[in-house]
């Protein structure tokens, strides 16, 4: 045995009576920060609904922002992501470096990650600074910049006309729709929609699904039975028709779509997580934690959830693209929120003009395609990076 | 309570698992994994718990630590019954008693670095200072023979022996008084086993730990234990100081286990006692002495004169009749296929001879009265009258081993054992074999 080094601190010398913690200081920085932020959001919410005049914007400085229900939800979602995904990375740089080292190995995933950060970053801040695309009958079917179409297909050409061809302008870099809405703006607003659909709904699904799945597997017995039979019932529940019904009763809003799908479609996730957790709970490290005195919550949170994260991440990487596509399909069918310009809606708007104004459907289509593809790459690489056994 | 109470005292501990059937989970029976065991572990002492796989050793470990709720019995830790503990007291108790696991691969969370795993008990018990946790873990890793730099590595990067060292570190980190080691070296190579055992010994001496060492391997137990309890089917059949037990085993089961240790001395080979049959199911343990279905020294019935080996063979037949039965038709077909006859034309006496051959029973027993009973019974069997055959044998050849359960008694050799063979000596039944001397 060696001696005299400065890290010497021996387990025999711990005075445990010193260390009886009280309820309040068992809160970690992480949870405390999260709860405090939620408190701030709640106060702002009260302010918005009680103080601010009806329909007035919530903030006027530094920019005008009328915070909608959906925005509140997005803020809470982002807070959750920041405190439970970003903060641990910041808090434990050793771990983060290792994850990054692993993630970096997948070139396609890095490129996809950068692309997604761009898309979602733009979707997050873009709508704050850019006005919604307007109807403009004087600017129908404008081609994207650097491209030209015969003047006959365009009502009034905004850009220069030469040899009977209408050229695109920087005023509408990606062209316009048949209603004269700028596609660039629509696409940016569409990013916001995809961000909301691709972040809030899966987060709701994953939180509920993981909680139910792990608790059911860990507790077993009557708890397991009740939770899983409820899942059985919920899985037979026709969410699509519920949404249609509510759509006709209250009108379609994106908020409704996100919430309805979030709280009714976690059943299959819960089931997947449970079957994985059932295997994990038989491992000896679970028993080791119990014999160390860890509570049920601790074991589930520190051992069961991390060890089912393969399943969760795989599930999420399938869920997010499919929900984004789902929203696009809904909008395409005209069942979406008519006030929100989502990618699906723009694709739908251009489908009758596909032979004369191909860019209307194609451009948002390309964004949809690349986003979904990038999400799949990133999900794949994340799963590998988070598993220490994948290291060589 | 007073400090002279043993560190750990187990009294009549039972753990039964219900067997349920159907949608309503109606209870149809019990698996009696641990069925009333008693022993004690003193401070600084290692007590071994040995037995075949499935005899309830591991269940005993998890129930006495209350990782599973015991069905019945008391577990006194420093004189206080932990089965009565509330949540807070139990958490405190968790600091005092730790466990080491069998499978080094499964006993570490693959998503945690070993440093986090070893430090986890500290965190659970409220040490918030991460840097201090790291200092303690680094120090501890060095003391179990690893390097302080290993703290950030992951379990899959270590060998089985190294992981078992880390497991020991994790068990030590709370400075416990008792360590329960469940087959800690069974998954390791023999050369590594020795290293881990000597490390465990050193650690135990250094900190004066009480240790309960569970193993199926008697040679390992001999290395490390001061006293040994032998378990069979959820019960302790013999409990003695290690040397005593190895030199002068009192219970036939202990003798059988001991003879299964490979002998390096060729002149002593060949005396292995072979146990017939499988371990019976703990959901329906045999009556009387639980070992009587396999015991090579099972006591012959009164009034008949049997050779021990022959009697064991007859008992085997009886055990089989009691459990699965002997199918005369199948025997007949077997004989037919061997001799190329039609099954119908196999005579009854061939069937009887085949049953004798199958169970190693001689063609004629030396005691004519016993022979008469046996051949009558065999005639019943050959005529496919199993119930009659079984009842006749059970009635005539009843042995004390199946009719009454032996109590744990102090034997002349000073052990505690439960066997009818040793009970007559100078017996008063020992209620709690808490001390071996």
CATH number at residue A94: 1.10.3720.10
Residue A293: its chain B contacts at CB < 8 A? 90-91, 94-95, 121, 124-125
Structural domain ending residue among the three candidates B170, B195, B225: B225
List b or e across B350-384, with b for residues whose CB sees 16 or more CB atoms inside 10 angstroms: bbbbbbbeebebeeebebeebeebbeebbbbbbee
Q: What is the pLDDT of residue B433?
A: 45
Structural domain ending residue among the three candidates B167, B199, B225: B225
Selecting from A10, A283, A309 the residue whose C-beta is nearest the C-beta of B139 gives: A10
Q: Is residue B287 part of a domain?
A: no
The verdict on A50 and A198 lying in the same domain is: no
The verdict on A207 and A230 lying in the same domain is: yes
Residues in chain B: 437
- Residues A92, A268: Cα–Cα separation, whole Å: 32
The beta-strand segments (E) located in chain A are: 148-150, 161-162, 165-167
The verdict on A59 and A200 lying in the same domain is: no
Q: Which domain holds residue B131?
A: 8-225
Query: Regarding predicted confidence, which is higher, B116 or B263?
Result: B116
Closest CA to B172 of B129, B143, B132, B212: B143
Q: What is the pLDDT of residue B289?
A: 86
| Confidence bin at B142 (pLDDT 50/70/90) | very high
Encode pLDDT of B341-397 as tens digits.
787 777 888 888 888 888 888 888 888 888 888 888 888 888 888 888 888 888 888
Q: Is residue A25 part of a domain?
A: no
Q: Is residue B276 part of a domain?
A: no
What DSSP state is assigned to residue B112? Answer: S
Q: What is the pLDDT of residue B269?
A: 56
Q: What is the mean pLDDT of residues B184-210?
A: 90
Query: What CATH number is attached to the domain comprising B117?
Result: 3.40.50.300
Q: Is residue A332 part of a domain?
A: yes
- Residues B6, B41: Cα–Cα separation, whole Å: 6
Q: Is residue A300 part of a domain?
A: yes
The beta-strand segments (E) located in B183-313 are: 210-215, 227-232, 235-241
- Residues A262, B204: Cα–Cα separation, whole Å: 55
Q: What is the pLDDT of residue B267?
A: 67
The verdict on B85 and B180 lying in the same domain is: yes
The verdict on A44 and A128 lying in the same domain is: no
The verdict on B220 and B339 lying in the same domain is: no
Number of compact structural domains in chain B: 2
Q: What is the pLDDT of residue A271?
A: 93
Q: Is residue B192 part of a domain?
A: yes
- Shortest Cα–Cα distance, A276 to chain B (Å): 15
Let me know if A103 is exposed, middle or buried by CB neighbors in 10 A (0-12, 13-18, 19+): middle
Interface test with B, best of A284, A311, A313, A382 (most B CBs within 10 A): A284
- Residues B176, B96: Cα–Cα separation, whole Å: 4
Tell me whether the omega of the peptide bond preceding residue A62 falls within 30 degrees of 0, making it cis.
Answer: yes
Q: What are phi and psi of A196, to 5 degrees?
A: -65, -45
Question: DSSP readout, A236-248?
Answer: TS-HHHHHHHHHH
Q: How many CB pairs (< 8 A) connect A and B?
A: 115
Q: Is residue B345 part of a domain?
A: yes
| Contact present, B418 and B400 (Cβ < 8 Å) | no
Q: Is residue A262 part of a domain?
A: yes
B68 inside 8 A of chain A by CB: no
The verdict on A57 and A191 lying in the same domain is: no
Shortest CA distance from B129: residue in chain A: A19
Q: Is residue A291 part of a domain?
A: yes
The verdict on A115 and A198 lying in the same domain is: yes
The verdict on A61 and A77 lying in the same domain is: no
Q: Is residue B156 part of a domain?
A: yes
Q: Is residue B82 part of a domain?
A: yes
| Contact present, B64 and B214 (Cβ < 8 Å) | no
H or E element in which residue B321 lies = helix B308-323
pLDDT at B197 over 70: yes
Q: Is residue A164 part of a domain?
A: no
The verdict on A44 and A127 lying in the same domain is: no
Q: Which domain holds residue A225?
A: 69-133+182-390
pLDDT at B78 over 80: yes
The verdict on A328 and A269 lying in the same domain is: yes
Give the Å distances, CA to CA, from A272 to A279, A310, A311, A320, B91: 12, 11, 7, 16, 32
H or E element in which residue B30 lies = strand B26-41
A15 inside 8 A of chain B by CB: no
Residues in chain A: 392
Structural domain ending residue among the three candidates B225, B240, B272: B225
- Residues A263, A6: Cα–Cα separation, whole Å: 53
Q: What is the pLDDT of residue B371?
A: 86
- Residues A168, A139: Cα–Cα separation, whole Å: 11
The verdict on A115 and A45 lying in the same domain is: no
Query: Regarding predicted confidence, which is higher, B169 or B420?
Result: B169
Q: Is residue B139 part of a domain?
A: yes
The verdict on A103 and A47 lying in the same domain is: no
Name the stretches of chain A with pLDDT < 50. 1-5, 22-24, 392
Number of compact structural domains in chain A: 2
The verdict on B201 and B332 lying in the same domain is: no
Q: Is residue B179 part of a domain?
A: yes
The verdict on A41 and A120 lying in the same domain is: no
Per-residue three-class SS string for A271-287: HHHHHHHHHHCCCHHHH
Q: Is residue A175 part of a domain?
A: no
Q: Which residue has the tokens 């030396």?
A: B366
Q: What is the pLDDT of residue A20?
A: 59
B134 inside 8 A of chain A by CB: yes
């Amino acid at each position: 045995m060696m001696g005299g080094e400065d890290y010497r601190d021996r387990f025999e010398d711990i005075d445990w009576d010193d260390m009886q913690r009280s309820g309040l200081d068992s809160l970690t920085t992480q949870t405390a920060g999260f709860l405090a932020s939620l408190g701030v959001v709640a106060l702002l919410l009260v302010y918005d609904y009680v103080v601010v005049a009806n329909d007035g914007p919530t903030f006027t400085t530094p920019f005008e922002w009328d915070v909608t229900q959906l925005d509140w939800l997005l803020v809470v979602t982002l807070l959750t992501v920041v405190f439970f995904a970003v903060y641990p990375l910041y808090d434990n740089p050793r771990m983060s470096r290792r994850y990054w080292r692993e993630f970096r190995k997948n070139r396609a995933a890095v490129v996809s990650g950068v692309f997604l950060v761009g898309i979602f970053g733009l979707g997050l801040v873009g709508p704050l600074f850019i006005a919604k695309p307007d109807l403009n009958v004087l600017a129908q079917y404008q081609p994207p910049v650097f491209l030209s179409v015969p003047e006959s297909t365009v009502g009034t050409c905004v850009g220069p006309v030469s040899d009977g061809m209408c050229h695109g302008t920087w005023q509408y870099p990606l062209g316009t729709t048949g209603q004269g809405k700028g596609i660039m703006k629509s696409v940016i607003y569409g990013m916001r929609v995809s961000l909301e659909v691709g972040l809030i709904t899966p987060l709701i699904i994953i939180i509920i699904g993981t909680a139910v799945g792990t608790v059911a597997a860990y507790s077993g017995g009557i708890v397991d039975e009740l939770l899983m039979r409820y899942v059985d019932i919920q899985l037979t529940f026709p969410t699509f028709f519920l949404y249609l019904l509510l759509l006709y009763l209250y009108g379609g809003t994106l908020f409704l779509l996100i919430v309805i799908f979030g709280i009714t479609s976690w059943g299959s996730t819960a089931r997947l997580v449970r079957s994985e957790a059932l295997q994990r709970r038989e491992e000896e490290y679970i028993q080791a934690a119990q014999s160390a005195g860890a509570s049920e919550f601790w074991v589930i949170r520190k051992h069961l959830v991390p060890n089912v994260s393969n399943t969760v991440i795989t599930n999420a990487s399938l869920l997010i693209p499919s929900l984004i596509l789902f929203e696009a399909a809904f909008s395409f069918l005209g069942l979406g929120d008519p006030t929100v310009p989502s990618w699906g809606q723009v694709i739908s708007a251009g489908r009758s003009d596909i032979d004369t104004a191909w860019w209307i459907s194609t451009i948002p289509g390309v964004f949809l395609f690349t986003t979904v593809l990038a999400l799949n790459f990133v999900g794949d690489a994340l799963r590998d990076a988070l598993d220490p056994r994948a290291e060589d | 309570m007073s400090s002279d109470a043993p560190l750990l005292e187990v009294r009549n501990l039972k753990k039964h698992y219900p067997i349920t059937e159907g949608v309503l989970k109606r209870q149809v029976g019990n698996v009696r994994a641990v069925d009333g065991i008693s022993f004690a572990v003193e401070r600084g002492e290692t007590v071994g718990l040995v037995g075949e796989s499935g005899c309830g050793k591991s269940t005993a470990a998890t129930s006495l630590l209350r990782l599973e709720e015991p069905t019945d019995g008391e577990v006194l830790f420093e004189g206080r019954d932990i089965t009565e503990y509330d949540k807070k007291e139990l958490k405190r108790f968790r600091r005092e008693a730790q466990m080491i696991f069998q499978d080094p691969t499964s006993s570490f969370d693959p998503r945690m670095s070993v440093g986090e795993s070893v430090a986890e008990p500290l965190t659970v018990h409220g040490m918030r200072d991460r840097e201090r946790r790291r200092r303690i873990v680094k120090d501890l890793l060095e003391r179990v023979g690893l390097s302080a730099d290993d703290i950030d590595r992951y379990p899959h990067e270590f060998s089985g022996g190294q992981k078992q060292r880390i497991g020991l570190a994790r068990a030590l980190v709370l400075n416990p008084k008792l360590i329960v080691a469940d087959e800690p070296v069974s998954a390791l190579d023999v050369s590594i086993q020795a290293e881990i055992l000597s490390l465990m010994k050193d650690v135990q001496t250094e900190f004066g730990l009480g240790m309960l060492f569970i193993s199926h391997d008697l040679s390992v137990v001999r290395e490390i234990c001061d006293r040994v309890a032998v378990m069979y089917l959820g019960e302790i059949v013999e409990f003695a100081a290690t040397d005593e037990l190895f030199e002068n085993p009192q219970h036939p089961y202990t003798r059988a286990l001991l003879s299964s240790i490979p002998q390096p001395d060729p002149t002593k080979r060949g005396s292995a006692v072979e146990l017939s049959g499988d371990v019976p199911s703990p959901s329906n343990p045999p009556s009387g002495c639980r070992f009587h279905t396999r015991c090579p020294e099972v006591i012959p019935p009164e009034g008949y004169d049997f050779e021990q080996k022959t009697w064991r063979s007859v008992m085997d037949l009886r055990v089989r009749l009691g459990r699965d039965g002997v199918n005369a038709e199948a025997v007949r077909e077997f004989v037919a296929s061997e001799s190329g006859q039609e099954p119908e034309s196999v005579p009854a006496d061939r069937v009887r001879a085949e049953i004798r051959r199958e169970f190693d029973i001689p063609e004629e027993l030396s005691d004519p009265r016993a022979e008469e009973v046996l051949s009558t019974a065999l005639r019943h069997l050959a005529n496919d009258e199993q119930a009659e055959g079984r009842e006749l044998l059970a009635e005539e050849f009843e042995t004390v081993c199946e009719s009454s359960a032996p109590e744990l008694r102090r034997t002349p050799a000073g052990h505690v054992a439960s066997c009818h063979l040793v009970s007559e000596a100078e017996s008063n039944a020992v209620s709690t074999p808490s001390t071996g001397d």
